[in-house]
């Protein structure tokens, strides 16, 4: 390969060399998360199944299935909260811009919007944490 490069340089030919692929590491706020619609639909199906099973009379109800459906609903609810948190973090990162690019009013507006999205992300982070704590005991039983 070294001889080929030297020969190409001597003849003044363009040299095409393979470059290592550039790998971009995205910040946590921009990493892809499951879509919110997917999480909502799976959670809604679990709630519907749980509702159908819970409405049955006591003698016909399968308590083990009811418990499993409760755990499933809580897991999908947690995944939904995590997806919302990721979406709001992504939106906040989108609105975080260099404030020198805009006029004063636009700077204020973009900062307020980014702060709003960060607050929503923090709220759903708390929702996810609250769902994890009680779900730890129930999750191990399923």
Q: What is the pLDDT of residues 28-48, one digit of tens each?
A: 545 555 565 666 677 778 788
pLDDT in tens, 7-22: 656 665 554 555 555 4
The residue extents of the domains of the chain are: 35-141
pTM over 0.85? The answer is no
pLDDT in tens, 128-138: 888 776 655 55
Q: How confident is the model at residue 120 (pLDDT cuts 50, 70, 90)?
A: confident
Please tell me the distance from the alpha carbon of residue 127 to that of residue 133, in angstroms, as a whole number.
10
Q: Are 70 and 90 in contact (CB under 8 A)?
A: no
């Amino acid at each position: 390969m070294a001889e080929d490069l030297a020969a190409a340089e001597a003849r003044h030919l363009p040299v095409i060399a393979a470059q290592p692929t550039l790998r971009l590491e995205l910040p946590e706020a921009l990493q892809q998360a499951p879509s919110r619609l997917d999480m909502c639909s799976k959670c809604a199906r679990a709630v519907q199944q749980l509702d159908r099973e819970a409405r049955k009379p006591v003698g016909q109800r399968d308590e083990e299935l009811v418990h499993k459906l409760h755990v499933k609903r809580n897991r999908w609810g947690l995944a939904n909260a995590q997806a919302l948190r990721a979406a709001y973090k992504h939106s906040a990162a989108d609105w975080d811009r260099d404030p020198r690019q805009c006029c004063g009013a636009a700077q204020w507006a973009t900062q307020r919007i980014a702060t709003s999205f960060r607050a929503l992300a923090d709220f759903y982070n708390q929702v996810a944490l609250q769902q994890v704590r009680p779900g730890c005991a129930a999750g191990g039983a399923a």
